[in-house]
Structure 1
C-alpha cells in the first residue's frame, strides 16, 4: 500500500510544499548563478529512472559550461577546476539539488530512494539491476547518502540501495529524511571527485 500508492502521494505533497516554501531561495540562487557565471541557470542531464527508463534530471548549474559532458565528477582528473565559486558552496550544502523538487513533482523521482545514476555508470547500474534497486524511482536522497555518500565505494552504495528496497516503509523513509538533514548540516560524506574515500582512508 505504501510503496504503490501512499509514497507517491507524500512525495507529491512534499515537493509541492518544498517548491512553494523555498521559492525565494530558488529565485535568489538562480540570480546569483546567472550573475556570477556565463551559461544557463539549470543543468539538465540524462539519468536512469525506474525500470531503467531514462529522464532528464534538474540541478542548479555548479560547474563551468566547458566541463566534459556525461562524465561522473569522480572520473574527472581535476574536478575542482570546473566547479564555479558559487557551485562549490552549493555542492557542499546540497543546494544544487533543490531543482529536483520539480522532478519529484513530475513523478520521475521520489524524495527517498537510490540516487539517480548516469547511463554510463555501468558497474553501478548492473549491481542495482541485480539487487532490485532499479525497480523503484530514484530519490533526492537515500540510505547511501546518510551512510557515507561520496566516501562509499560503488559496490557498497549498490548494496545500500538494495537494502533500502527491502526495508522501504514510511518509518524507514522518515529515518532517511531526518538522517539527510543531519548529514547536510554536518556536510558528511561530501568529497569532490571522490568515490570510495572511506575505504582509501582505512587502507592509509
Structure 2
C-alpha cells in the first residue's frame, strides 16, 4: 500500500508544480486512483514485490521503471478511450509520471541501501550450511563473501568428496557426517541448507530432507547440471505445475520475454518517430546514389528458426549472385556505393530494422541474424550456432559491441561471435540490454570492421 501513497504523492507534487495548488477535478483523481490500482495489479508480474535479498539495485530500478511506464501507458490509453485527453494537462501528466517514478525507485533504493548496510554490519543475516563437493562449496562461499549485502553468511560445510576435493575456504567448519552437520545446524540457529548436489546423489538428498523434516530450516536444492546444461545457470520453470530444469532451451522465462517484447515495441515506435526525418533523408540519398530500390530485402531466420524478411537501406549497386550463395561484403567492395559505404560504416543502413522490431520479427538487442545460406554453412561447423535462434535476433548485440561484426572470412571469427551470442543468452537481463544499447549509441555506430 505504500506504493499507492507514493502514486498519490507524485500526483499531488505534480499538481503543485503545474498549477500551484493541489485541488483538481474529479477526473484527475479518478485517473490517479486507476493508476494506483493498476500498479498494484501489474507490479507483481514484473517481480517488483519479490524479495530484494541478493538482487542488484540496477535491475530493481529497471523493473520498477518498466512496470510504472506500462501503468502510465495504460492510463493514457484509458484517457483517450474515454475521450478525456483534453481534460488532463499533458504537462501535469508528464510531471506526475516523472515524480512518481522517481519516488518509487528512490524508496526502494534507499530501503535497499539501509538493509545492505545492516547486513554488512552483521544484522538481518541468514546463516547458511552448504552440502557438496569441496570445489562446489568453495565456489558458493566465494559468492557469499563477495556479496555481503545480500544477507547470507556461510556457517557450515558438509564435504561429500573430502579425498578428491577438499574444502580450501578457511573460517567455516567442515563436517564429514550428516549427524554432525545436523547437530551444528540445530545448536547454532542456521536458517538455510543449500544442497549443491548432482542428480545421482538422490539418497543423500532424501536423507538430508528427512533429517530436517521437523525443523524450521529452509532447504534449497541447487542441482549440479553443469555437464548437461547448454547455458550457465539454467533456471527452473513451471510446466503444468511441475518444476523443470532447462537443460537445452531458451534461458529466458516467459515473464522475461514479455518484458523484452513490451520494451522492444515501445523503443522501436519511439525510435521511428524520432528518426523519421533522418530516415527520409537517407531514403532520398540512397535513391539518388544508384539505380534500384531504397530498401534491401532478404530472408533471415528469427526465433525458433522462423523465416522472415529483414529490411535495410540498400548500400550496394544492383547485381546478381549465383543461386544458393551469398557473397559477404569485403573491404573496398566495388558493389558498395559511396552513400552505401557511409551507411555501412555508421550502421545507419540497419535503421529500417526498427520496422522488423515493431512487426515482432526482431528485438532491439539480440544475436544478429545471418543470411540463410550462411546459417546452413555455419551450423554444421560451429558448435552451438543454431542455439542463437532460441530468442529473436537483434539490431545490435553483445558480440557487435565487443568488436565481432562485419565480414567473417575465417571460421574463428564466427566461433567468437557465437560465443558472445550464447553468453548474452545465458546472462540476459534488462540492465544488460540497456548497457548494449548505450554502448551501441555511444561507441558502436562506427567500427573498423563495418564496410
Corresponding residue for residue 184 of structure 1 = 444
Deviation at 1:150, TM superposition (A): 2.8
Deviation at 1:104, TM superposition (A): 0.2
Q: Structure 2: 5+ residue runs without aligned partners?
A: 1-253
Alpha-carbon distance between aligned partners in 1 of 2:383 and 2:366, rounded to the nearest angstrom: 12
Corresponding residue for residue 9 of structure 1 = 262
Alpha-carbon distance between aligned partners in 2 of 1:141 and 1:131, rounded to the nearest angstrom: 18
Alpha-carbon distance between aligned partners in 1 of 2:280 and 2:420, rounded to the nearest angstrom: 34
Corresponding residue for residue 313 of structure 2 = 60
Deviation at 1:46, TM superposition (A): 0.5
Q: How does 1:1-204 map to 2 (within 5 A)?
A: 2-66=255-319, 68=321, 71-74=326-329, 80-121=333-374, 122-126=376-380, 127=382, 129=384, 132-148=387-403, 149-150=405-406, 153-185=413-445, 187-192=446-451
- The structure having more radius of gyration, on CA atoms, is 2
Contact 2:379/2:386, CA 8 A, preserved across alignment = no
Deviation at 1:189, TM superposition (A): 4.3
Structure 1 segments, 4+ long, off by >3 Å, are: 123-131
Please give the per-residue CA displacement for 1:121-150, whole angstroms capped at 9, x wherever unaligned.
134345475573211000000000001123
Q: How many residues align?
A: 189
Relative to the length of structure 2, the TM-score reads 0.40
Please give the per-residue CA displacement for 1:88-122, whole angstroms capped at 9, x wherever unaligned.
00001111000000000000000000001111113
Please give the per-residue CA displacement for 1:182-201, whole angstroms capped at 9, x wherever unaligned.
3335x234243xxxxxxxxx
Deviation at 1:3, TM superposition (A): 2.5
Distance 1:182 1:151, change over 3 A: farther
CA RMSD of aligned residues (A): 2.1
Alpha-carbon distance between aligned partners in 2 of 1:95 and 1:130, rounded to the nearest angstrom: 27
Alpha-carbon distance between aligned partners in 1 of 2:307 and 2:275, rounded to the nearest angstrom: 27
Aligned partner of residue 64 in structure 1, secondary structure: coil
Deviation at 1:48, TM superposition (A): 1.1
Contact 1:146/1:176, CA 8 A, preserved across alignment = yes
